Structure 1
């Protein structure tokens, strides 16, 4: 599509996006959002055990694009995002609990599609070197890049700590009354976001609701004239004698085109190698050596076939947000305390 489409006027206005501009809010250190009021302020101070007002200082801090990205990173890895964001030098580096690996079968459906993955494990340090996968499993991983953040939190909320800042942000948006939002649609965009049209795959275990494909009607032209720049709302037909054409967004993942959903990002028949940190490369006879280097012994490694069900796919989705040893954390969970892993 080369035409700009607009949200309905009652959904997005120039004065803001989701919440009413005239409303005020308190955001706590762990990103819990509350409508501002005197009693809410007292409640927050009481919870923080602050009895002396002289302990407080008011500051005005400018937040730009760089600061917003930094705050997003803190919200994904911290329990006190605002403190670590505004006063990083005063904070002691703390470890973050690993995302708990989900062990139970989410749906209990024996007929559910599962992935066969070949893992190469390092016996010496009990870690995953890499995984050999088909295109179907890789399509599932790649689809995570298209998931709205609100959908990720909604999928994982039963398995993550309530101390996680991004979880608090989602829960507080969910609990805020409609009177604080510009419209019901604005709230739903946050707590029930939809996947962009054609961003889903056929064999996904985690399926999100997709937005409908875009359609546009040209009332005085055929498609060819429209592509050539014919003005669609002229009172006369185009040079081909047509008065109406309907343009429908196409699915770029379908080989022969069309507006059906589904398709895939990579071919299912292809084989790929995924490193422990989720670096992806086409599999080849030397790809393993290139990834690891030459300083290793073949005897240190074993090959193991693993069945990946929906529970493991959800675990991958959660762990990839906070870890750089994703495959090891999901498929070879450790009991010892792990240090914070940075992904940005």
Structure 2
């Protein structure tokens, strides 16, 4: 997969210096929902260069430096340090690639059975790593079986599925704290009243593009802040304005 650029239209209050909300399409909403499906272990390598908040980075580094002498014989460090996210059935091939080195296991997931799976209780057991011990006969489980994704749901009258998490027939509103709701004129007016915007002339629309750099910044900000869009995009918009 190649890196995908996703567009957002920001509504900025230039007086209070904040993003009120953003207009977003299906691709950005799929990316946001995609974050919730990621194992925590995938966050840490992405954020280490930008600084980790809290102690999860210390746990990660402990696993990296711990000798295999102290680990269980069948444990592979990679399962902890580089966990794969399972997005079964959501059509991950169409998700925007905004986070680097996050691998889906939906197409590579493997399971193993006992060689004697056709007899006794061995048939009841399956493992997600090779050389597990069958609880029934104590033999090594080495016969590979593959995980099969369920078919993507197809809407009535539609010849194909969009994949991802949400439908692409509407525009979505994303709040500064990443709350998501369908976009409507009424909801926009209600929000302007809620934010006590008195000068419409102080509002500015700005279209921004997200690549992997912005994707990682959004991930980091979502773990630390309630003003994610402002924190990530307003400094960038300010720099672009000064350059112009």
Matched, 1:322 2:224: yes
Name the residue aligned to 2:57: 167
Matched, 1:273 2:180: no
Contiguous gaps of at least 5 residues in structure 2: 125-144, 156-161, 237-244
Name the residue aligned to 2:197: 296
Asked if the contact 1:139/1:265 (under 8 Å) is kept, the reply is yes
Asked if the contact 1:114/1:307 (under 8 Å) is kept, the reply is yes
Change (3 A) 1:251 1:309: same
Higher relative contact order (CA 8 A, sep 6+): 2
Over the residues paired in the alignment, what is the CA RMSD in angstroms?
Answer: 3.2
Q: 1:292: how far off? A: 4.7
Q: What TM-score do the two structures reach when normalised by structure 2?
A: 0.68
Asked if the contact 2:7/2:207 (under 8 Å) is kept, the reply is yes
Name the residue aligned to 1:210: 104
Counterparts of residues 170-185 of structure 1 (less than 5 Å): 170-183=60-73, 185=75
In the aligned structure 2, how far is the partner of 1:284 from the partner of 1:201?
A: 29
Asked if the contact 2:176/2:228 (under 8 Å) is kept, the reply is yes
Deviations 1:100-127 (A, max 9, x none): xxxxxxxxxxx84211110000111111
Name the residue aligned to 1:125: 16
Counterparts of residues 1-344 of structure 1 (less than 5 Å): 112-161=3-52, 164-183=54-73, 185-198=75-88, 200-202=92-94, 203-206=96-99, 208-211=102-105, 212-213=108-109, 249-251=148-150, 253-255=152-154, 263-294=163-194, 295-297=196-198, 298-333=200-235
Q: 1:289: how far off? A: 3.1
Change (3 A) 1:311 1:320: same
Asked if the contact 2:97/2:212 (under 8 Å) is kept, the reply is no
Larger radius of gyration: 1
Q: 1:208: how far off? A: 2.1
In the aligned structure 1, how far is the partner of 2:79 from the partner of 2:232?
A: 31
Change (3 A) 1:158 1:252: farther
Q: 1:293: how far off? A: 3.5
Change (3 A) 1:112 1:164: same
Asked if the contact 1:113/1:309 (under 8 Å) is kept, the reply is yes
Contiguous gaps of at least 5 residues in structure 1: 1-110, 220-231, 234-245, 257-261, 335-344
| Paired residues, number | 195
Q: 1:205: how far off? A: 2.5
